[in-house]
Structure 1
Amino acid sequence: MSVVTTETHGLVTLLTINRPERRNAICKDTALALQRALAEFDGSDQRVAVITGAGDEAFSAGADVNNLPELWRCIPGVGVATDKPIIAASAGWVVGGAMVMHMMCDLAVAADNTRFSYPEGRMGFTGGMIAGLAARIPHKIAMELILRGKPMSAQRAYEVGLVNEIVPVGRQVEAALGMAQELAAMAPLVLRTIKRFVGRSVLPQGPSEQMAATLAELGRVQSSRDIEEGRSAFREKRAPRFEGR
């Protein structure tokens, strides 16, 4: 069974983290699969994506400590840079790195049982990208969530601007798809331009986010056909034939 499933609903793509037996924890394979799915979405004619987790117990329990991922790979706008709108649809727990994924989406729908938690201060590790939360909700509230590790309810998240809508449990994907269909009917160049302006010129990027974006850029070169062609040409003592891919 795929750890990430992809469905198309007209011009909307639904991406589901599909590890309900592990509360949709993100392992290495999941991060890579979600990165590929986001890249395929960005390169397609699809206009809007919705990211969710299988079932209603958890959007995601965060990084799988038994198979730690490079979590930045599956963070929207970081592991895959895209100007297309992305909506989070959550239910149950949204923990650690999953909170980072959620905050980097453009819009969010939460079931009324959603709970946000960032317990890394009690666990002794962090990727640091959560610092961007302080640019997206009021500073003191962000710091309480990050430093004290106290869970935040869906209602509180709505009040402070972390989610746009609260719906009954089981309706979160339906509501997010409805929101996505509204966006898909709008002028895509306008939506992408606005998102790009916000991402590049309005919201600040923390050091971890900048580092991850740099790794993503370098990764595209390191996994390209051109790098293999360059190596082959060097070994064969011939001029390389680069394709820009």
Structure 2
Amino acid sequence: MSHILYEVADKIATITLNRPEVANAQNAELLDQLDAAWTKAADDDEVAVIVLRGEGRHFSSGHDLKSGEKHQGKITLEQIYRAESRRYLEYSLRWRNIPKPSIAAVQGRCIAGGLLLVWPCDLIVASEDALFSDPVVTMGIGGVEYHGHTWELGPRKAKEILFTGRPLTAAEAEKTGMVNKVVPRDELDGSVRELAAHIAGMPPFALRQAKRAVNQTLDVQGFYAAIQSVFDTHQTGHGHALSVGGWPVLVKLDEMKTKVQ
């Protein structure tokens, strides 16, 4: 599993994104390996808490846009829909509903597809230099595939971040409730480990019940239906981009992500 590191110690499974040379950009292999790691942790009775982190300067620069360049001019909307429904929607929803507490440790940039990795986690701890952004409107699409924006940020802040493409600082994210705690960069791993160890000492069945209670309440409020419906709206953006200019990636966003790396 070259793109993902996995270890278990003291009832804590640590899953690490391991493509630091490209700011942990997510290609198909990384996402498939990541899903396998989540499943392994979920099935292991010795694991009480799951921690997700990224190796290197940045948590994740999002989807690896360069990995799709070979399909330019040949890809269809049906192919995009099939691939994204599996890796960008099904995976994220599955990670959200794994009946064990999960914590994301975020440093540096967390761009677009990076949000699809942290939003399914139950808790998020960020370093002071963390920046969260979804500049996908630059691509002619209304936002990433897993639309947690409104739920995580509230409607007005969600619109601001989508309309402008600007990054949300760790401090701003904490104010909205998206981030639980902000710590200095050199304390990130230690703080997350301490939090995970505390949670791991709680009764596992009670933790499972507590997580289900919160997730089910969000679903009753419309979370699951909204995520499914906005995913289809996202796909109309791809369809429009294909009809106007071919491969649905604009140079502006690609150049921005290259600078981050």
TM-score where L is the length of structure 1: 0.78
* Distance (Å, rounded) in 2 between the aligned partners of 1:191 and 1:210: 30
Alignment CA distance shift 1:71-1:128 (3 Å)? closer
1:17 maps to 17
CA contact (8 A) 2:96 2:122 kept: no
1:118 to 130, 134, 137: 134
Q: Is the 8 A contact 1:103 1:133 kept in 2?
A: no
**How far off is 1:103 after superposition?**
1.8
Does the 8 Å CA contact 2:145/2:230 hold for their aligned counterparts?
Answer: no
Query: Secondary structure at the residue paired with 2:66?
Result: coil
**Structure with the greater alpha carbon radius of gyration:** 1
What's the % identity of the aligned pairs?
28
- Deviates most, 150-159 or 194-203: 194-203
Change (3 A) 1:34 1:24: same
1:182 aligns with 2:198: yes
1:219 is matched with which residue? none
Alignment gaps of 5+ in structure 2: 69-82, 232-261
1:106 equivalenced with 2:122 (yes/no) = yes
Residue of structure 2 equivalent to 1:85: 101
Letter in 2 for 1:65: L
C-alpha deviation, 1:100, in angstroms? 2.5
RMSD: 2.1
Alignment correspondent of 2:224: 205
Q: Deviations over 1:205-238 (max 9, x none)?
A: 24544798xxxxxxxxxxxxxxxxxxxxxxxxxx
User: Higher relative contact order by CA 8 Å / sep ≥ 6: 1 or 2?
Assistant: 2
Q: Distance in 1 between matches of 2:62 and 2:90?
A: 13
* Count of matched residue positions in the alignment of Structure 1 and Structure 2: 209
Counterpart residue number, 1:236: none
Instruction: Work out whether 1:51 is the aligned partner of 2:68.
Output: no
Amino acid at match of 1:72: L
Q: State the secondary structure of the residue aligned to 2:125.
A: strand
Q: In structure 2, how many angstroms separate the alpha carbons of the residues matched to 1:127 and 1:167?
A: 27
* Alignment match, 1:232: none
Counterpart for residue 168 of structure 2: 152
Does residue 141 of the first structure (1) align with residue 157 of the second (2)? yes
Equivalent residue for 1:128, pick from 145, 148, 158: 145
Q: Secondary structure at the match of 1:190?
A: helix
TM-score in terms of structure 2 length: 0.74
| Structure 2 residue identity aligned to 1:54 | E
1:10-40 C-alpha deviation (Å, 9 max, x unpaired): 1001100000000001110000000000001
